[in-house]
Amino acid sequence: MFQDRTSLDSHAMRRAVSPDQSRMMRATPGAAVGVLACALVAGVAIVLAAPTLPRWPAAIVYGLASIVCHQRPERSFYWGTVQFAVCARCTGLYAGAAIGALAALAAGHARLAAAVPRLPPALVLAAVPTAATVAAEWAGMWATSHAARAWAGVPLGAIGAITLAVAAATLHYSGWPPRRGLPPPHPHS
């Protein structure tokens, strides 16, 4: 009984909202990628700008960044005398994420959807520079510079952001029912 009533309510809702209204009420894959790209770029900008922020916003950024980064002074870039909110490797990862998000936004939905089969090998290849620098440091074979750590992180950050964008772009929004409780949008006269 409950299942039948749910399907009837859903059917009645579809009849009450015209196809144009229903389309307007749903998110599009392009919008999801746009929101993701804006969020990633803004987040990266805030993290990289943290050394120049006033004290209390900077404290929030440094505190949040400490959740994902060791923030060791000897492994971090500095803005003047102020340490970045994340280490050099994380700086590269975040800069790569911003680049990847913008690239995904520029690529468009069709190219992102076509990239799905190539993502797993791309992620593995993008992780190689970071893994190599970490392994070389741990083995004592090479004391990498801040720049080398950062540049090694850029490909992984970029492909990671593209992977998130592909996930956002390939969600099937068309199968979602219209939101309940919202009146249909009215054209402004």
Considering the domain boundaries, does residue 125 fall inside one? yes
> Would you say 140 and 89 are in contact if contact means Cβ atoms under 8 Å apart?
no
Reported as a pLDDT band with limits 50, 70 and 90, residue 169 is confident
Residue 71 domain boundaries:
28-171
β-pairing, 78-79 with 82-83?
antiparallel
Considering the domain boundaries, does residue 177 fall inside one? no
Q: What is the mean pLDDT of residues 34-62?
A: 92
- The pLDDT value recorded for residue 140 is 87
Structurally, the chain folds into a number of domains equal to: 1
Q: What is the mean pLDDT of residues 87-91?
A: 95
Residues in the chain: 189
Q: What is the mean pLDDT of residues 154-159?
A: 97
| Residue among 116, 99, 100 nearest 171 (CA) | 116
Q: What is the mean pLDDT of the chain?
A: 82
In terms of average pLDDT, the best of 12-21, 119-128, 165-174 is: 119-128
Residue 100 CB-half CA count within 13 A: 28
Considering the domain boundaries, does residue 85 fall inside one? yes
Considering the domain boundaries, does residue 132 fall inside one? yes
Considering the domain boundaries, does residue 63 fall inside one? yes
Considering the domain boundaries, does residue 189 fall inside one? no
Residue 100 has pLDDT above 60, yes or no: yes
- The pLDDT value recorded for residue 21 is 47
Considering the domain boundaries, does residue 179 fall inside one? no
